[in-house]
Amino acid sequence: MLVSVRGLSQGVTNLKLKTDRLQHAKELEQEAIKKRDSTQLAEAWYLYGKIYAFAGDYKSSQSYFLKSLQLLEPKGDSFEVSRLYVRLSENEVKQGHLDKALHDAKRSLSISEHIRSDPALMRSYGALGQVYEAIWHKEPRGRPAYYSAIILYYRQIEYLGYKSNDTIAVAEALARYGNFLAKNDDKRSVSYLQKALSFFTRKGKDIGRLNVMIHLSSAYSTFGQFKLAGSVLRKAEALYDEKKLNEYDLRVLLDRQFVRYFEATDQWEAAFERLNKLNALEKAQLLSDYDGTVTRLNIEYETRKKESILKAQKKVINLNAENLHTQQILTAVIGILFLIATVLSIVFFRLYRKNQRISLRNVQLVKEQNHRVKNNLQVVSSLLSLQSKRLTDEVAKKAIEESRLRVQSMAIIHQRLYDGDRLAEVNLEDFIRELVWGVLRSYGYSSVETEFTIENTSLPADKAVPLGLILNELTTNACKYAFPYRANPELKISCHRQSNRLKIMVADNGPGMDGLTWADTLMDEAVESATAVKKSSFGMQLIQAQTEQLYGTCRFEGDNTGVLFTLEFNV
C-alpha cells in the first residue's frame, strides 16, 4: 500500500508498508488470539498502528491504536496506555487536528505523572512539544507564550534524560530543541544540534545521527555557512551509503536538502540533477506495490512458503530419528569423557567463584560505606533545615542554609559514588549539573539560563569534595549577589582538561566586583552593597582552603558585566 507522509519539515514523500514488520505483527496477533491473551493482542494492534502511521495512513493507524487502547485502558494507568495517547496525539498533529492532539498529549502526561515513570514522562513532554510547535506555526500572535512552553518541554526531556543517564533521550531532546531554535533563526541551534550529533555518534545510533546531520546542514545554510552545510551534507550521504541504511524517508530527506543547498549556492545544474534523481525515486516508489496488493500477496506467499519448509523439515526429522539409535552408543562414550571434564571444570569454577565473591563483597562494602556516609550527610542537612525554620534572625537563617548546601554538596558526591560504576570516582558533568541545579532550586532560580560546557571526564573523590564546596559557594553567591540585579540572569560553567591539568571557569552576568583583584573575592554578609567584598569572609576562606587542598590556583575577574572565577589544579 502506497501512501503519502510528511518527512520532518521537508515536504511530501511516498512510503510503503514494511512487509517484515507486517508479518511480525500478524504472527503476534494470531498467537495472541490463540492464547486469548488480551495484553499481547493489544501489543499486536499497537504494532499495526505504528506501521500504518509510518506509511502515512493515519486513519488506519488511529483505528488500531484505539482498538489497543480499548483493551488496555480498563486495566488502569500504565506506560503502555500513556504511550498510546502519545501516538494518537502525533497522528492528530499530522492530520491538523490540533485540539484533539493537545487533549491526547495532556492525557498522556497525566498518566505518566500518575505512574511516576521517567521514560513515559519524556514521551509525553515530546508529544506536548510537538503539538505546541504545530500551534506555534499556525498562530503567530501567540508565539511568545507557545515558544516558552515548547522550550520548557524540550528542556524537561533533557533534564530527565540526564537524570536517568539515558544518553539517547538527551540527544533526542537536544535535536528537537536545536531544530526548533533553527526555525526561529536562533544561531544557538547549531551548538545544540552538534551536541546531539556527538551523543548519537558516541552511541552508534546511525539513524539519529543521519537525521541530525541533515538538519545541521539546513541550519548552516540558514545562517549563510554554506561551506559547512555542504561538508556536513556530503558526510551524511557517505554515512548513508557506508551503513547501507536503505531507508526511503531518509534518502528523500537527504536529496531534498541537497536540492536546497545547491539552489542556495547557485549550483543550478547540480540542483536540477539531484531533483531529477529525487523525482525518479518518488515515481518508482509510487508505482511499486500500489494499494498494498503486492504487499498482501507477498505476505501470503511467504506464509505458504514457510508452511512448505516446515513440512519438509518434519520429514527430515523423521529420517534423523532412525539414525538416532546408532548414535546413542557413541554419545555414551563421549558422555563419560565429558563427565570427567565437567568434574575438573567444577573444581576450577568453584575456586573462581570464591575469588569472585570476595571481590564482590569488597565492592559492596565500599558502596555501603558511601551509601551510609550519604545518608548521614542528608540527616545533617535535614537537621540544619529544621533548625533554620525555627530561627527568626535572617542572618542566622542564611548562615544555616549556606551550611546545609555545603553539606548537601558532599552528599551528592557520595550519592554519585554509590550509584556510579566506579567506586572512587564521580562523573564530573553529572555531578556539577546536579550540584548547581540543587543550589539554584534552593534559592528559587531554577529558571536561570544555565550553560554547561563540560568535558566527559571523571574525578577522584578526594578532588571532588573540595571542588563541590567551591562550586556550591560560587553558585550561592551568584544567587545572592548577581541574579537579583539582572532581569535575565545567566550562569556559565565550563570545564576543560589538558593532559593532567583541569581548568574550571564559572561566570555570571551580575553587577561585577568593581575591578577588584582575585584576592578580594566573595561577598561579605555584613556589607549591603552587591559589589563590596572582603577577603576575610567565611566564603573566601573556604574557597582558599579548598583550593590549597587541591594544590591548585584560583583567581577572580570582575567588571560591571559580571564576575569570572577560574580554578586550575592537577588531576
Here the CATH number for the domain that contains residue 500 is 3.30.565.10
Q: CA torsion 67→69→74→77, rounded to 10°?
A: 170
In a domain, 198, yes or no: yes
Residue 493 has a CB neighbour count (10 Å cut-off) of: 22
Residue 432 CB contacts under 8 Å (≥ 6 apart), including other chains: 452, 454, 471, 493, 495
**pLDDT tens per residue, the chain (571 residues)?**
333 333 333 333 344 566 778 888 899 999 999 999 999 999 999 999 988 887 778 888 899 999 999 999 999 999 999 999 999 999 999 888 999 999 999 999 999 999 999 999 999 998 998 898 888 888 766 567 788 888 888 888 888 988 888 888 888 888 888 888 888 888 888 888 889 888 889 888 888 888 889 988 888 988 889 999 889 899 988 988 888 876 666 788 888 889 988 998 889 988 888 888 888 776 765 554 444 444 444 544 454 554 555 566 566 667 677 777 778 788 888 888 888 888 888 887 878 777 777 756 655 555 565 566 657 766 676 777 676 667 777 777 666 777 777 777 677 766 666 565 666 688 888 889 988 998 888 888 888 889 999 988 888 888 888 998 899 889 988 888 888 888 889 999 999 998 889 999 999 988 877 533 333 444 433 333 333 344 447 778 889 999 999 999 999 998 888 899 999 999 8
User: Residues with Cβ < 8 Å from 236, sequence gap 6 or more?
Assistant: 210, 213, 214, 217, 254
Kindly give, in sequence order, each residue whose CB lies less than 8 Å from that of residue 58, ignoring residues fewer than 6 positions away.
52, 91, 94, 95
Other Cβ atoms closer than 10 A to 341: 10
Cβ neighbours of 70 (radius 10 Å): 12
- Which of 480, 473, 505 has its CA nearest to residue 406? 473
In DSSP terms, 197 is beta-bridged to none
Q: Are 123 and 112 in contact (CB under 8 A)?
A: yes
Q: Is residue 1 part of a domain?
A: no
Q: Which three cell numbers stand for residue 242?
A: 557506508
Residue that terminates a domain, selected from 266, 287, 308: 287
Q: Is residue 539 included in any domain, yes or no?
A: yes
So what's the pLDDT on residue 16?
A: 59
Domain assignment present for 189: yes
Confirm whether 248 is domain-assigned. yes
**Using an 8 Å Cβ cutoff, are 71 and 89 in contact?**
no
CA–CA gap between residue 535 and residue 64 (Å, rounded): 69
- Residues 6 or more apart whose CB falls under 8 angstroms from that of 504 comprise 467, 471, 493, 494, 495, 566, 567, 568
- Which residues on neighbouring strands pair with residue 544, listed in sequence order? none
Contacts of 67 (CB under 8 A, 6+ apart): 42, 45
Give the 3-state secondary structure of residue 554: strand
pLDDT of residue 12: 36
DSSP state of 489: -
End-to-end Cα, the chain, rounded Å:
61
Q: Which domain holds residue 238?
A: 184-287
- Secondary element (H or E) of residue 231: helix 226-243
Q: Select from 248, 271, 287 the last residue of a domain.
A: 287
As a whole number of angstroms, the distance between CA 93 and CA 107 comes to 15
- Per-residue pLDDT, 428: 87
Residue 132 within any structural domain of the chain: no
Tell me the H-state helices in 244-292: 248-264, 268-287
Q: Which residue has the cell 535535614?
A: 382
d(CA 281, CA 259): 14
Residue 524 lies in a domain: yes
Lookup result for grid cell 538527551? 170
**Rounded CA separation 503/518 (Å):** 16
Q: Is 246 left (phi over 0), alpha (psi -120 to 50) or beta?
A: left
Amino acid identity of residue 435, one-letter, is: L
Are the CB atoms for 565 and 552 separated by under 8 Å? no
Place of cell 534524560: 161
Take residue 62 and report the three cell numbers written for it: 488511529
Residue 34: inside a domain:
no
Residue 410 is placed in which grid cell? 558532599
Q: Where are the alpha helices (DSSP H) in 56-166?
A: 58-72, 79-94, 98-115, 118-138, 143-163
Point out the domain boundary residue: 264, 287, 310: 287
Cβ-based neighbours of 414, under 8 Å, separated by 6 or more: 370, 371, 373, 374, 377
* CATH of residue 217: 1.25.40.10
User: b/e per residue, 346-367, with b = 16+ CB within 10 A?
Assistant: eeeeeeeeeeeeeeeeeeeeee
Within 13 Å and on the Cβ side, how many CA atoms surround 272?
4
Place of cell 540527616: 379
Closest CA relative to residue 553, chosen from 536, 535, 570: 570
- Rounded Cα distance, 43 and 50, in Å: 11
**Run of H or E including 75:** none
Please tell me the total count of domains within the chain. 2
